[in-house]
Structure 1
Amino acid sequence: MRPEPGQVLHFSEDPTIERFVPHVAVTSIQSAPYVWAVDYDRCPDYWFPRACPRAMAWTGPRTTEEDAARIFGAGCGGRVHAIEYGWLKAVMDVRLFAYRLPADDFAPIGDPPHAVVSKAPVVPLGPPEPVRDLFELHEEAGIQLRVLDNLWPFWNEVTASTVEFSGIRLRNARR
Protein backbone atom coordinates (compact mmCIF):
# COMPACT_ATOMS: atom_id res chain seq x y z
CA MET A 1 0.00 0.00 0.00
CA ARG A 2 1.76 3.09 -1.31
CA PRO A 3 0.57 6.49 -2.52
CA GLU A 4 0.26 7.30 -6.18
CA PRO A 5 1.99 10.40 -7.60
CA GLY A 6 0.52 13.56 -6.07
CA GLN A 7 -0.65 11.70 -2.97
CA VAL A 8 0.47 10.94 0.56
CA LEU A 9 -1.10 8.40 2.90
CA HIS A 10 -2.49 8.41 6.40
CA PHE A 11 -2.91 4.97 8.01
CA SER A 12 -5.61 4.41 10.60
CA GLU A 13 -7.67 1.69 12.23
CA ASP A 14 -10.65 4.07 11.98
CA PRO A 15 -12.49 3.80 8.63
CA THR A 16 -14.89 6.68 9.41
CA ILE A 17 -12.67 9.77 9.11
CA GLU A 18 -14.15 12.29 6.68
CA ARG A 19 -11.86 15.23 7.41
CA PHE A 20 -8.45 15.42 9.07
CA VAL A 21 -8.07 18.38 11.43
CA PRO A 22 -4.66 19.56 12.68
CA HIS A 23 -3.98 18.55 16.27
CA VAL A 24 -1.06 18.08 18.63
CA ALA A 25 -0.51 14.35 18.87
CA VAL A 26 -0.19 13.01 22.41
CA THR A 27 3.12 11.38 21.46
CA SER A 28 4.52 14.34 19.51
CA ILE A 29 7.51 16.41 20.49
CA GLN A 30 6.07 19.10 18.20
CA SER A 31 3.93 21.76 19.88
CA ALA A 32 2.22 22.92 16.68
CA PRO A 33 -0.98 21.22 15.49
CA TYR A 34 -0.61 19.17 12.30
CA VAL A 35 -2.31 16.61 10.10
CA TRP A 36 0.27 13.84 9.72
CA ALA A 37 0.86 11.64 6.67
CA VAL A 38 3.70 9.76 4.97
CA ASP A 39 5.17 9.61 1.50
CA TYR A 40 6.04 6.56 -0.58
CA ASP A 41 9.31 5.78 1.19
CA ARG A 42 7.96 6.00 4.75
CA CYS A 43 4.70 4.05 4.23
CA PRO A 44 6.21 0.75 5.43
CA ASP A 45 6.81 2.35 8.85
CA TYR A 46 3.02 2.30 9.30
CA TRP A 47 2.17 -1.20 8.10
CA PHE A 48 1.40 -2.06 11.75
CA PRO A 49 -1.35 -1.57 14.31
CA ARG A 50 -1.10 1.99 15.62
CA ALA A 51 0.04 1.08 19.15
CA CYS A 52 2.48 -1.64 18.02
CA PRO A 53 6.07 -0.88 19.02
CA ARG A 54 8.49 -1.34 16.15
CA ALA A 55 12.18 -0.83 15.56
CA MET A 56 13.18 -0.25 11.96
CA ALA A 57 16.61 -0.08 10.35
CA TRP A 58 17.89 0.36 6.81
CA THR A 59 21.13 1.00 4.99
CA GLY A 60 22.17 4.56 4.33
CA PRO A 61 25.14 6.38 2.83
CA ARG A 62 27.12 6.09 6.10
CA THR A 63 26.38 2.40 6.68
CA THR A 64 29.52 0.27 6.93
CA GLU A 65 29.67 -3.24 5.48
CA GLU A 66 30.36 -4.59 8.98
CA ASP A 67 27.25 -2.95 10.46
CA ALA A 68 25.10 -4.03 7.52
CA ALA A 69 26.23 -7.66 7.95
CA ARG A 70 25.70 -7.53 11.72
CA ILE A 71 22.30 -5.78 11.75
CA PHE A 72 20.71 -7.23 8.62
CA GLY A 73 22.40 -10.60 8.25
CA ALA A 74 22.66 -12.73 5.16
CA GLY A 75 19.88 -12.52 2.60
CA CYS A 76 18.33 -9.28 3.83
CA GLY A 77 17.62 -6.56 1.30
CA GLY A 78 18.96 -3.75 3.46
CA ARG A 79 15.86 -3.01 5.54
CA VAL A 80 14.48 -4.75 8.60
CA HIS A 81 11.47 -4.11 10.83
CA ALA A 82 11.26 -5.74 14.24
CA ILE A 83 8.29 -6.29 16.54
CA GLU A 84 7.77 -8.32 19.70
CA TYR A 85 6.04 -11.71 19.89
CA GLY A 86 3.40 -10.14 22.12
CA TRP A 87 2.25 -8.05 19.13
CA LEU A 88 2.21 -10.80 16.52
CA LYS A 89 -1.51 -11.58 16.84
CA ALA A 90 -2.39 -7.86 16.64
CA VAL A 91 -0.34 -7.51 13.43
CA MET A 92 -2.14 -10.53 11.96
CA ASP A 93 -5.62 -9.39 13.02
CA VAL A 94 -5.57 -5.59 12.63
CA ARG A 95 -8.04 -3.94 10.25
CA LEU A 96 -5.90 -1.13 8.90
CA PHE A 97 -7.05 1.52 6.42
CA ALA A 98 -5.16 3.92 4.18
CA TYR A 99 -6.48 7.38 3.40
CA ARG A 100 -5.17 9.00 0.23
CA LEU A 101 -4.55 12.71 0.73
CA PRO A 102 -3.45 15.43 -1.74
CA ALA A 103 0.34 15.81 -1.47
CA ASP A 104 0.19 19.53 -2.33
CA ASP A 105 -1.36 20.17 1.10
CA PHE A 106 1.71 18.75 2.90
CA ALA A 107 5.33 19.68 3.62
CA PRO A 108 8.17 17.49 4.95
CA ILE A 109 8.97 17.58 8.67
CA GLY A 110 12.11 16.44 10.47
CA ASP A 111 15.79 16.38 9.61
CA PRO A 112 15.98 14.12 7.77
CA PRO A 113 12.25 14.21 6.97
CA HIS A 114 10.31 11.33 8.51
CA ALA A 115 6.77 12.43 7.66
CA VAL A 116 4.78 15.15 5.93
CA VAL A 117 2.42 17.53 7.69
CA SER A 118 -0.33 20.00 6.92
CA LYS A 119 -1.29 22.96 9.08
CA ALA A 120 -4.76 23.10 7.50
CA PRO A 121 -7.66 20.63 7.56
CA VAL A 122 -7.47 18.00 4.81
CA VAL A 123 -10.27 16.08 3.11
CA PRO A 124 -9.33 12.61 1.80
CA LEU A 125 -9.38 12.09 -1.96
CA GLY A 126 -11.84 9.23 -1.51
CA PRO A 127 -13.00 6.60 0.95
CA PRO A 128 -10.35 4.77 2.98
CA GLU A 129 -8.91 1.64 1.42
CA PRO A 130 -8.47 -1.54 3.46
CA VAL A 131 -4.79 -2.39 3.76
CA ARG A 132 -4.22 -6.00 2.87
CA ASP A 133 -2.00 -8.58 4.59
CA LEU A 134 0.82 -6.75 6.37
CA PHE A 135 3.22 -9.68 6.06
CA GLU A 136 2.69 -9.80 2.30
CA LEU A 137 3.34 -6.06 2.05
CA HIS A 138 6.66 -6.49 3.85
CA GLU A 139 7.61 -9.45 1.68
CA GLU A 140 6.76 -7.65 -1.58
CA ALA A 141 8.74 -4.58 -0.46
CA GLY A 142 11.78 -6.75 0.36
CA ILE A 143 11.64 -5.79 4.02
CA GLN A 144 12.67 -8.43 6.51
CA LEU A 145 10.15 -8.63 9.37
CA ARG A 146 11.61 -9.98 12.60
CA VAL A 147 9.64 -11.10 15.60
CA LEU A 148 11.67 -10.83 18.81
CA ASP A 149 11.06 -11.55 22.46
CA ASN A 150 12.16 -8.02 23.33
CA LEU A 151 12.95 -5.05 21.06
CA TRP A 152 15.49 -3.33 23.30
CA PRO A 153 18.62 -5.44 22.57
CA PHE A 154 18.00 -5.02 18.82
CA TRP A 155 17.24 -1.29 19.24
CA ASN A 156 20.44 -0.77 21.24
CA GLU A 157 22.49 -2.45 18.50
CA VAL A 158 20.81 -0.44 15.76
CA THR A 159 21.17 2.95 17.45
CA ALA A 160 24.86 2.31 18.19
CA SER A 161 25.58 1.41 14.55
CA THR A 162 25.99 3.29 11.27
CA VAL A 163 22.62 2.15 9.86
CA GLU A 164 19.68 4.54 9.63
CA PHE A 165 16.78 3.83 11.94
CA SER A 166 13.40 4.79 13.31
CA GLY A 167 11.48 3.60 16.34
CA ILE A 168 7.74 4.05 16.73
CA ARG A 169 5.67 3.47 19.88
CA LEU A 170 8.71 2.07 21.67
CA ARG A 171 7.12 3.10 24.99
CA ASN A 172 4.80 0.11 24.40
CA ALA A 173 7.70 -2.36 24.14
CA ARG A 174 8.55 -4.78 26.95
CA ARG A 175 10.96 -3.49 29.54
Structure 2
Amino acid sequence: MIDQLLKMADGPLQDLLSQSGMSGTESTASAIEDTFGSLLKNKAQSGDLSAIKEMFSGSDTSPQSPVIQNLAGDLSSGLMDRLGISSEQAMSLAKTALPLLMNFFNQRINEAPQANEDIMNSVVKALQGGPGSGGADILGSLLGGGKGGGMDLGGLMNMGKGLFK
Protein backbone atom coordinates (compact mmCIF):
# COMPACT_ATOMS: atom_id res chain seq x y z
CA MET A 1 0.00 0.00 0.00
CA ILE A 2 2.70 2.51 0.91
CA ASP A 3 4.49 1.57 -2.32
CA GLN A 4 1.41 2.51 -4.32
CA LEU A 5 0.98 5.73 -2.38
CA LEU A 6 4.62 6.63 -3.00
CA LYS A 7 4.18 5.99 -6.74
CA MET A 8 1.70 8.89 -6.69
CA ALA A 9 4.66 11.16 -5.85
CA ASP A 10 6.62 9.85 -8.85
CA GLY A 11 6.10 12.87 -11.12
CA PRO A 12 7.08 15.52 -8.57
CA LEU A 13 10.04 13.41 -7.44
CA GLN A 14 11.29 12.99 -11.02
CA ASP A 15 10.88 16.73 -11.60
CA LEU A 16 12.89 17.49 -8.46
CA LEU A 17 15.66 15.08 -9.48
CA SER A 18 15.73 16.50 -13.00
CA GLN A 19 16.02 20.06 -11.66
CA SER A 20 18.91 18.85 -9.50
CA GLY A 21 20.75 17.74 -12.65
CA MET A 22 20.35 14.00 -12.02
CA SER A 23 20.45 11.66 -14.99
CA GLY A 24 18.31 8.53 -15.04
CA THR A 25 15.63 10.25 -12.97
CA GLU A 26 13.00 7.54 -13.54
CA SER A 27 15.15 4.71 -12.18
CA THR A 28 16.50 6.92 -9.39
CA ALA A 29 12.99 7.99 -8.38
CA SER A 30 11.88 4.36 -8.38
CA ALA A 31 14.86 3.39 -6.20
CA ILE A 32 14.05 6.20 -3.75
CA GLU A 33 10.36 5.24 -3.58
CA ASP A 34 11.07 1.53 -3.12
CA THR A 35 13.78 2.09 -0.51
CA PHE A 36 11.69 4.64 1.38
CA GLY A 37 8.65 2.34 1.30
CA SER A 38 10.68 -0.54 2.74
CA LEU A 39 12.13 1.76 5.36
CA LEU A 40 8.65 2.92 6.45
CA LYS A 41 7.39 -0.68 6.62
CA ASN A 42 10.34 -1.75 8.76
CA LYS A 43 9.93 1.20 11.09
CA ALA A 44 6.17 0.62 11.47
CA GLN A 45 6.66 -3.08 12.16
CA SER A 46 9.25 -2.28 14.83
CA GLY A 47 6.88 0.23 16.46
CA ASP A 48 8.67 3.42 15.34
CA LEU A 49 5.78 5.46 13.96
CA SER A 50 7.38 8.92 14.00
CA ALA A 51 7.96 9.10 10.24
CA ILE A 52 4.47 7.90 9.36
CA LYS A 53 2.87 10.27 11.84
CA GLU A 54 4.85 13.15 10.39
CA MET A 55 4.10 12.09 6.81
CA PHE A 56 0.34 12.17 7.45
CA SER A 57 0.22 15.01 9.98
CA GLY A 58 -1.03 17.63 7.56
CA SER A 59 1.75 20.00 8.63
CA ASP A 60 4.81 20.97 6.60
CA THR A 61 7.95 18.99 7.38
CA SER A 62 11.12 21.06 7.46
CA PRO A 63 14.24 19.63 5.79
CA GLN A 64 15.95 20.14 9.17
CA SER A 65 13.29 18.26 11.16
CA PRO A 66 14.43 15.40 13.41
CA VAL A 67 12.32 12.94 11.38
CA ILE A 68 14.12 13.86 8.15
CA GLN A 69 17.49 13.69 9.87
CA ASN A 70 16.68 10.25 11.35
CA LEU A 71 15.46 8.84 8.04
CA ALA A 72 18.24 10.28 5.88
CA GLY A 73 20.94 7.88 7.09
CA ASP A 74 18.82 4.77 6.57
CA LEU A 75 17.56 5.95 3.19
CA SER A 76 21.04 6.87 2.00
CA SER A 77 22.39 3.44 3.01
CA GLY A 78 19.67 1.76 0.97
CA LEU A 79 20.33 4.04 -2.00
CA MET A 80 24.08 3.33 -1.91
CA ASP A 81 23.33 -0.40 -2.14
CA ARG A 82 20.58 -0.06 -4.72
CA LEU A 83 22.17 2.53 -7.02
CA GLY A 84 25.86 1.83 -6.40
CA ILE A 85 26.61 5.46 -5.56
CA SER A 86 28.88 7.09 -2.98
CA SER A 87 27.69 7.87 0.53
CA GLU A 88 27.85 11.60 -0.23
CA GLN A 89 25.66 11.22 -3.34
CA ALA A 90 23.22 8.99 -1.47
CA MET A 91 22.94 11.39 1.46
CA SER A 92 22.39 14.31 -0.92
CA LEU A 93 19.61 12.37 -2.67
CA ALA A 94 18.02 11.40 0.64
CA LYS A 95 18.04 14.95 1.99
CA THR A 96 16.59 16.24 -1.28
CA ALA A 97 13.87 13.60 -1.66
CA LEU A 98 12.67 13.15 1.92
CA PRO A 99 11.14 16.62 2.42
CA LEU A 100 9.38 16.34 -0.95
CA LEU A 101 7.95 12.93 -0.12
CA MET A 102 6.85 13.89 3.38
CA ASN A 103 5.23 17.11 2.23
CA PHE A 104 3.62 15.54 -0.84
CA PHE A 105 1.31 13.67 1.53
CA ASN A 106 1.09 16.44 4.13
CA GLN A 107 -0.29 18.80 1.48
CA ARG A 108 -2.97 16.34 0.38
CA ILE A 109 -4.03 14.93 3.72
CA ASN A 110 -5.97 18.04 4.70
CA GLU A 111 -8.08 17.75 1.53
CA ALA A 112 -9.14 14.19 2.31
CA PRO A 113 -12.70 13.46 3.41
CA GLN A 114 -11.47 11.44 6.42
CA ALA A 115 -9.77 12.92 9.47
CA ASN A 116 -5.98 13.09 9.25
CA GLU A 117 -5.60 10.85 12.28
CA ASP A 118 -7.94 8.21 10.81
CA ILE A 119 -5.93 8.05 7.59
CA MET A 120 -2.63 7.91 9.47
CA ASN A 121 -3.95 5.14 11.75
CA SER A 122 -5.11 3.19 8.71
CA VAL A 123 -1.69 3.47 7.11
CA VAL A 124 -0.01 2.37 10.35
CA LYS A 125 -2.31 -0.66 10.71
CA ALA A 126 -1.74 -1.67 7.10
CA LEU A 127 2.05 -1.32 7.39
CA GLN A 128 2.13 -3.27 10.62
CA GLY A 129 0.11 -6.04 9.00
CA GLY A 130 -2.65 -5.89 11.59
CA PRO A 131 -6.35 -6.31 11.01
CA GLY A 132 -8.45 -3.21 10.77
CA SER A 133 -11.67 -1.93 9.41
CA GLY A 134 -12.77 0.76 7.02
CA GLY A 135 -9.71 2.68 5.86
CA ALA A 136 -7.30 0.01 7.09
CA ASP A 137 -9.08 -2.57 4.96
CA ILE A 138 -8.92 -0.24 1.97
CA LEU A 139 -5.24 0.39 2.43
CA GLY A 140 -4.57 -3.27 3.13
CA SER A 141 -6.36 -4.24 -0.06
CA LEU A 142 -4.13 -1.84 -2.01
CA LEU A 143 -1.20 -3.92 -0.78
CA GLY A 144 -2.93 -7.08 -1.85
CA GLY A 145 -3.04 -8.25 1.75
CA GLY A 146 -6.48 -7.11 2.80
CA LYS A 147 -8.35 -10.07 4.25
CA GLY A 148 -12.00 -9.35 4.65
CA GLY A 149 -12.06 -5.72 3.65
CA GLY A 150 -15.55 -4.38 3.97
CA MET A 151 -15.22 -1.67 1.31
CA ASP A 152 -16.51 -2.00 -2.21
CA LEU A 153 -14.86 -0.57 -5.31
CA GLY A 154 -16.98 2.57 -5.13
CA GLY A 155 -15.81 3.28 -1.59
CA LEU A 156 -12.23 2.75 -2.62
CA MET A 157 -12.64 5.13 -5.55
CA ASN A 158 -14.22 7.78 -3.34
CA MET A 159 -11.40 7.56 -0.81
CA GLY A 160 -8.82 7.82 -3.57
CA LYS A 161 -10.54 10.86 -5.08
CA GLY A 162 -10.62 12.62 -1.73
CA LEU A 163 -7.06 11.84 -0.73
CA PHE A 164 -5.33 12.65 -4.02
CA LYS A 165 -7.13 15.45 -5.86
TM-score between the two structures when normalised by the length of structure 2:
0.28
| Structure showing greater relative contact order (alpha-carbon pairs closer than 8 Å, 6 or more residues apart) | 1
Structure label with greater radius of gyration: 1
Write 1 or 2 for the structure with the bigger share of strand: 1
